[in-house]
């Protein structure tokens, strides 16, 4: 009897560098080891009470489908949020609610590029861009940034060298996951000039919009959207802003009518995002302004603890993160994935260890990031200080193995 053969495409979807070491962490926990998770951006900040109150008081039965574009009350809340951010020209017809920011990425890549076509992305970049590019047959073209420059963008000339007749878009993330870099107005101006010159789409992942430090300002693609209305696409999410990772709610926002009609048809195919999730999140307009301010201040404190602590470890390289809650950190090791496994399988300090994400999975160029890791500073300052202490001891021990 003939054997059923899976599609070759399945093998090309990469494993997540953030989650691939989870089995090692689970085994360590089975042994009674305390594992400090610096590998994933899953905030410990509490979800706003006004949102949780919706769940506590829930009495709608049965729980029905929502609308494919999104629940109207939730779309209106998002619309008001963008108006409060200073973008009054955004209307409900410019917003597609997605199942997490991940679906917004998927819809955008599907919408702007066909199989074999190319999207420029600055490495290191959010690893799940790889997943959706592979699913849709889109080729991500990595443009290098360096730890020495704080992962800021290269010159216009370097970027333009990567553009080919197959290039359809440029994808950026600011504040950046995984580097914590915030692109300046000059950098965003440059990208807008390039997409104008070549007729490309510009996709901006702005999930960490509020997480900016040292008095810096986030420069949004929304600031340019009216200048390039058919080319600008903003990808957004509530996961980190309101600690709603499990609610799986994001947004794709654009003034391009054809794009919005197309992604709505995709939305109709998957029926809807969660009705309960949207009703809960629609209360975002009732969240006190102090909430975001306090969250930003807390993450800035954590950033400072991580940065100052890691700087004291010999051989460690860390540019000061400007936003988000991530850092790409250079370690004095030859293979950061091997070191990450060593932390979970072998090293113990007072029955405790740390989980980190090897950075090679955040690069598109083979061989890059081999001695780097991504650290998510989502733990409280006490846990972060302990994690830094463990890392320092582990690096010394690893060198002796």
Q: How confident is the model at residue 273 (pLDDT cuts 50, 70, 90)?
A: very high
- As a 3-state breakdown, the chain gives helix, strand, coil percent values, each rounded to 5, of 40, 15, 40
Instruction: For 288-342, list the strands marked E by DSSP.
Output: 326-330
pTM above 0.85, yes or no: yes
What integer is the mean pLDDT of 294-323?
A: 97
**Which CATH number among 3.90.1150.10, 3.40.630.30, 3.40.718.10, 3.40.50.2000 corresponds to the domain 8-46+290-399?**
3.90.1150.10
pLDDT at 9: 85
Question: What is the chain's mean pLDDT, rounded?
Answer: 96
Query: Phi/psi at 234 (nearest 5 deg)?
Result: -100, 135
Q: Which structure tokens are listed for 264?
A: 């709505």
**Per-residue pLDDT reduced to its tens digit, 149-169:** 999 999 999 999 999 999 999
- Given a contact cutoff of 8 angstroms between Cβ atoms, the answer to whether 354 and 379 are in contact is no
* Three-class HEC string of 152-210: CCCCHHHHHHCCCCCEEEEEEECCCCCCCCCCCHHHHHHHHHHHHHHCCEEEEECCCCC
CA-wise closest residue to 193 among 174, 219, 218, 170: 170
Q: How confident is the model at residue 92 (pLDDT cuts 50, 70, 90)?
A: very high
- According to CATH, the topology of domain 62-286 is 3.40.640
Residues with Cβ within 8 Å of 164's Cβ and at least 6 positions away in sequence, in order, are: 118
Q: How confident is the model at residue 401 (pLDDT cuts 50, 70, 90)?
A: low
**Per-residue pLDDT reduced to its tens digit, 3-53:** 898 988 888 888 777 678 999 999 999 999 999 999 988 889 999 999 999
Q: Any idea where the domains of the chain sit in the sequence?
A: 8-46+290-399, 62-286
Q: What percent of the chain has pLDDT over 90?
A: 93
What integer is the mean pLDDT of 60-85?
A: 97
- 19-33, 104-118, 187-201, 304-318, range with the lowest pLDDT: 19-33
pLDDT at 137: 96
- Given a contact cutoff of 8 angstroms between Cβ atoms, the answer to whether 173 and 141 are in contact is no
Q: For residues 178 and 86, what is the distance between their CA atoms, to the nearest angstrom?
A: 27
């Amino acid at each position: 009897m003939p054997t059923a053969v899976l599609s070759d495409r399945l093998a090309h979807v990469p494993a997540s560098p953030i989650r691939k070491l989870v089995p090692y962490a689970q085994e360590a926990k089975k042994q009674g080891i305390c594992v400090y998770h610096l590998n994933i951006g899953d905030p410990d900040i509490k979800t706003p009470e006004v949102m949780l109150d919706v769940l506590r008081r829930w009495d709608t039965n049965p729980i029905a489908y929502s609308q494919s574009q999104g629940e109207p009350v939730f779309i209106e809340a998002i619309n008001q949020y963008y108006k409060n951010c200073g973008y009054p020209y955004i209307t409900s017809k410019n917003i597609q609610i997605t199942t997490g920011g991940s679906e917004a990425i998927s819809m955008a890549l599907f919408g702007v590029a066909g199989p074999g076509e190319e999207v420029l992305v600055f490495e290191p970049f959010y690893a799940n861009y790889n997943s959706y590019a592979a699913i849709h047959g889109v080729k991500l073209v990595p443009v290098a940034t360096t730890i020495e420059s704080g992962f800021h963008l290269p010159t216009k000339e370097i970027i333009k060298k990567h553009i080919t007749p197959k290039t359809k878009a440029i994808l950026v993330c600011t504040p950046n996951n995984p580097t914590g870099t915030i692109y300046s107005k000059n950098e965003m101006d440059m990208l807008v000039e390039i997409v104008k010159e070549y007729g490309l789409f510009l996709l901006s992942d702005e999930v960490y919009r509020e997480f900016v430090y040292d008095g810096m300002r986030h420069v949004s693609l929304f600031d340019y959207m009216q200048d390039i209305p058919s080319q600008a696409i903003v990808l957004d999410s509530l996961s980190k802003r309101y600690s709603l990772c499990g609610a799986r709610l994001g947004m794709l926002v654009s003034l391009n009518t054809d794009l919005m009609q197309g992604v709505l048809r995709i939305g109709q195919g998957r029926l809807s995002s969660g009705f309960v999730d949207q009703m809960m999140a629609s209360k975002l307009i009732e969240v006190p302004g102090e909430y975001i301010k306090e969250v930003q201040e807390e993450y800035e404190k954590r950033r400072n603890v991580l940065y100052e602590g890691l700087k004291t470890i010999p051989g460690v390289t860390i540019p000061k993160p400007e936003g988000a809650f991530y850092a790409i950190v250079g370690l004095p090791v030859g293979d950061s994935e091997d070191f990450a496994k060593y932390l979970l399988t072998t090293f113990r300090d007072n029955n405790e260890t740390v989980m980190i994400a090897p950075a090679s999975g955040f690069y598109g160029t083979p061989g890059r990031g081999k001695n780097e890791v991504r650290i998510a500073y989502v733990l409280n300052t006490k846990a972060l200080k302990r994690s830094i202490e463990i890392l320092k001891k582990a690096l010394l021990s690893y060198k002796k193995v």
